Amino acid sequence: MLEVNNIEVVYMNVIQVLQGVSFEVDDGQIVALLGGNGAGKTTTLKAISGLLKTEQGEVTNGSIVFDGKRIDLFGPEDIALMRIAQAMEGRRVLEHLSVEENLLVGAFCRKDRAGIKKDIEMVFDYFPNIKRLRRRVSGYLSGGEQQMLVIGRALMARPKLMLLDEPSLGLAPLIVKEIYEIIQGINAEQKMSILLVEQNVRAALGIAGYGYVIESGRVALGGPAETLRDNEDVQEFYLGLSAGSKKSYRDVKHYRRKKRWLA
């Protein structure tokens, strides 16, 4: 469904953030894009959704193809109409609007009133925690409730591909577990492709079928989720597990990690 082909991204004609990133998302698949802060994960999502253009960024090389059509030349409004929806990092709710009004914003491009009403109830079925709060101003929701709301708002666009940016950020482990179970259910029931950006590697690889690790704007590692979970480097640097003796900070510097992965 989605092919990201060797893309390079530059901001303000000066700052290169991505350096030849390539990966695929198959129809109905959950793919995890993993890596630390500043690795280029969010920039990759914005390149797909077209939001780079709002931040003086552009894809300067390579291509992004969705359903057989090249989309990196289009603006975000056109890409949204192709049924690609992004739930952005930081729980970007419209704080002055109610929960239900936020959901209606997600359906802005739709004209089928009966379908919109039905899908609001579908969202409430997935997220019963926010159903009882449907009239509440969203700025007063908890962090977990706001995260549920932004995922629900993305669902209202009836996307073929949903982009989720750090859905576990700043949330308690029990809330993360609940949200990830719901994401897995959405994928299974709606047959929806999901590209999941995360630093929480354990949670992401728990539901993804395939994963890629990004380091400094490049894909350093990729493979089936179970293979990544068993990879010693992933276990050591992202899960805090090590089969050997303790290492000094000097031994785990970024450039050494990258050198081992790209060897």
Q: What is the pLDDT of residues 26-63, one digit of tens each?
A: 999 999 999 888 889 999 999 999 999 888 999 999 99
pLDDT reading at 140 higher than 90: yes
Degrees to nearest 5, angle at CA 165 with 109 and 42: 100
DSSP assigned state of 40:
S
Name the amino acid, one letter, at 174: L
Rounded mean pLDDT, 82-98: 90
Per-residue model confidence as pLDDT tens digits over 146-167: 999 999 999 999 999 999 999 9
CATH homologous superfamily of 2-83+159-230 equals: P-loop containing nucleotide triphosphate hydrolases (3.40.50.300)
Classify the phi-psi angles of 135: left when phi > 0, otherwise alpha if psi is within -120 to 50, otherwise beta. alpha
Q: According to the model, what pLDDT value does residue 91 have?
A: 79
pLDDT of residue 236: 76
In contact, 7 and 20? CB cutoff 8 Å: yes
Q: Which residues contact 101 (CB under 8 A, 6 or more apart)?
A: 94
Q: Which residue has the tokens 């709002």?
A: 54
The DSSP letter of residue 20 is E
Sequence-distant (≥ 6) Cβ neighbours of residue 165 within 8 angstroms: 41, 42, 45, 86, 87, 88, 89, 197
Quickly state the pLDDT bin for 216 (edges 50, 70, 90): confident
Predicted confidence band at 230 (pLDDT cuts at 50, 70, 90)?
A: confident
Please report the pLDDT score of residue 252 as a whole number.
46
Share of the chain above pLDDT 90, in %: 71
DSSP-derived letter for residue 52 is G
Task: pLDDT band for 243, please (50, 70, 90 cuts).
Answer: low
Which residues are paired to 215 by β-bridges? 218
What pLDDT band is residue 169 in, cutting at 50, 70 and 90? confident
Instruction: Identify whether the C-beta of residue 141 lies closer than 8 Å to the C-beta of residue 91.
Output: no
Q: Where are the domains of the chain?
A: 2-83+159-230
Lowest-confidence region among 145-154, 168-177, 251-260: 251-260
Average pLDDT (222-235) is: 87
Q: Is the pLDDT of residue 262 over 90?
A: no
